[in-house]
A and B are shown apart, each in its own frame.
Chain A
Amino acid sequence: AQSVTQLDSQVPVFEEAPVELRCNYSSSVSVYLFWYVQYPNQGLQLLLKYLSGSTLVESINGFEAEFNKSQTSFHLRKPSVHISDTAEYFCAVTRVGGGSNYKLTFGKGTLLTVNP
């Protein structure tokens, strides 16, 4: 079984400041890792994913995450946030190769609030 820990339930920052949302996972098998973003009263949108290859993955809107196998982490970063980045962010994993139809295991989420 897998588990995901998001260490911060809330992260308030000022606009244009850098931010890091932390995610650690536990798994006895190899996993794929994901970050999803959820705006109020909406479903989840995939922000970025790590499957294999380069451990640094980037999204089109300036977020990046780095897979660190030794620390079992997949922290999300952005060098300069905007008000529009205010949302709930979920880290998730699924085991490589499927099994259980690629069920996702989610962290509890981190509410990023960007203040002017």
Chain B
Amino acid sequence: GAVVSQHPSRVICKSGTSVKIECRSLDFQATTMFWYRQFPKKSLMLMATSNEGSKATYEQGVEKDKFLINHASLTLSTLTVTSAHPEDSSFYICSATQGAYEQYFGPGTRLTVT
């Protein structure tokens, strides 16, 4: 149980385009989802927290207009990187909770912007 999927697992896009990453909780309802960014050989940086049906809460320094987060249902959250640039290339990981302490992590999405 408690499986979280991400799609796509890898994506390559051209500079200036937008890319959407999906995060799904497959066998539970996720009241809260988190989006992280991980740089090479670095820890996870929390980007935002999203609760179903409400606006995401972004961490300090994260551009809301660049990283659009939508949590439309209790099983789906999406992260859209708008007007992507090479510096946005990274490993993006989502996690989901059922309203308690334990987060279940997705397998991650490798974004490469050329």
Residues of A within 8 A of B (CB): 32, 36, 41-46, 49, 51, 90, 94, 98, 100-104, 106-109, 111
A46–B102 touching, CB < 8 Å: yes
Contact call A98/B108, Cβ cutoff below 8 A: no
Prevailing SS type, chain A contact patch = mixed
Interface residues on B, range: 20 to 34
Contact yes or no, A100 B49, CB < 8 A: yes
Q: Given the complex of chains A and B, what is the CA–CA distance between A9 and B113 in angstroms?
A: 28
Q: B51 to A101, Cβ gap below 8 A?
A: yes
CB atoms of B44 and A98 under 8 A apart? no
Complex CA–CA separation, A41 to B9 (angstroms): 9
Q: Are A43 and B105 closer than 8 Å at their CB atoms? A: yes
Taking CB atoms, residues of chain B closer than 8 Å to A103 are 34, 46, 49
User: Given known contacts A42-B107, A101-B32, is B44 in contact with A106 (CB within 8 Å)?
Assistant: yes
In the complex, the chain A residue whose C-beta lies closest to that of B33 is A101
In whole Å, how far is A110's beta carbon from the nearest beta carbon of chain B? 10
Contact string against A for B residues 89-106, beta-carbon threshold 8 Å, 1 for contact and 0 otherwise: 001010101001111111
Chain B residues with CB below 8 A from A41, complex form: 91, 108, 110
Number of residue pairs across A and B with beta carbons under 8 Å? Answer: 52
Contact flag A43-B100 (CB < 8 Å), given A90-B44, A106-B44: no
State A109–B34 Cα separation when bound (angstroms).
19
Q: How far is the CA of A107 from the CA of B42 in the complex (A)?
A: 9
How far apart are A83's CB and chain B's nearest CB, in angstroms? 21
Q: Which residues of A contact B104 (CB under 8 A)?
A: 46
A58 to chain B, nearest CB (A): 17
Name the 5 nearest CB pairs between A and B, nearest first: A43-B105, A44-B105, A43-B107, A108-B43, A43-B108
Given A44-B93, A90-B43, A107-B43, A102:B101 Cβ within 8 A = yes
